[in-house]
Amino acid sequence: MAATDSVAIVHLQPGDAAAALALSTEAQWNQNEADWRFFLASGIVFGIVERDVGLIATAALLPYAQGNAWISMVLVTASRQRRGLATRLVDACIEEATRQSRTAWLDATPAGAAVYGGLGFTPTGRMLRMRHAAAMATKVPLLAGDFEELVARDGRATGFDRRAMLQELCGRDGSRLVAQGGAIALIRDGRSARHVGPLLADDAASAARLLAAIVQSENVALLTDVNGDDHGFIDNLTASGWSAERPFQRMRFGRSNVTASAPAFAGAGPEYG
């Protein structure tokens, strides 16, 4: 990172991964260094660097196909919050998405949604993060999922292609792509818990059965981000030991240019959509 004054926005580089990870760790987010390295290599990460302090704020824009992009990693260190830094960085992401003729999407916390609404973002749906405590794995056998099936199902659920992102997530050490009875899911490492998603299935019952099998096959805490409007599915998971952790508001900046033709029972995470 080049030294700069307290107000300049800079483009972060792959070597900034450790400093960026310190911000998300301070916020107790689940992203790990592999997430940051992917965003720094494949997206555009804006940052604010304060002289004699270092990196104090970030926001990332991850391009997707069909003229779409995801905004995430909007972070400000605790001592520099409520100074408009996050808004400035999101504005930079919006400007870049507009320059590239892309529709921008994000998953916002309730507090963030109030701010983003004022910037022109439109609510499009709700997500709910759920957690399952660590358990003793019983080694329930799970079939390996087919990557091409994951890409195809994910494309139908989102309305655009995310092959490069999914390939990177699946290729990480510790990642598992599993399938069972009409459902397929990706499980990957996070900083403090394993993340399950995307989870695509023929129906809610198939999705719930695969999640139950995943719980039995893992021995660490699990997180998954489900459709916050699917109350029946949420009730099913709650009865199976999952607990609600935090809601997210999915939002869009710009005209919708996609049509989803299948449901996603869990997303790839608020940083990826």
- Tell me: the pLDDT tens digits for 45-77? 999 999 889 999 999 999 999 999 999 999 999
Question: What is the C-alpha to C-alpha distance for residues 64 and 235, in angstroms, rounded to an integer?
Answer: 32
More confident: 76 or 5? 76
Domain made up of 9-124: CATH architecture = 3-Layer(aba) Sandwich (3.40)
Domain 9-124 and domain 128-253 have a common topology: yes
Q: What is the CATH number of domain 128-253?
A: 3.40.630.30
Token reading at 230: 């699917």
Mean pLDDT of 177-197: 97
Mean pLDDT of 22-37: 98
Residue 4 pLDDT grade (very low, low, confident, very high; cuts 50, 70, 90)? very low
When the pLDDT of each residue in the chain is averaged and rounded to a whole number, the result is 94
Residue 5 pLDDT grade (very low, low, confident, very high; cuts 50, 70, 90)? very low
Question: What is the C-alpha to C-alpha distance for residues 131 and 67, in angstroms, rounded to an integer?
Answer: 33
pLDDT at 141 over 80: no
More confident: 134 or 254? 254
Helical residues (DSSP H) of 43-162, grouped into ranges: 85-99, 110-118, 147-158
Do 131 and 238 form a contact (C-beta atoms < 8 A)?
Answer: no
What percentage of the chain exceeds 70 in pLDDT?
96
Give tens-digit pLDDT for 74-93: 999 999 999 999 999 999 99
Give tens-digit pLDDT for 193-215: 999 999 999 999 999 999 999 99
Do 87 and 80 form a contact (C-beta atoms < 8 A)?
Answer: no
Residue 12 pLDDT grade (very low, low, confident, very high; cuts 50, 70, 90)? very high
Token reading at 95: 């400007």
Listing DSSP states for 145-170 in one string gives PPHHHHHHHHHHHHSS--HHHHHHHH
- Say whether pTM exceeds 0.85: yes
Q: Where are the domains of the chain?
A: 9-124, 128-253
- Going through the chain in order, the beta strands assigned E by DSSP cover 9-11, 44-50, 54-64, 68-76, 103-108, 122-132, 143-144, 176-180, 183-188, 194-201, 222-227, 243-253
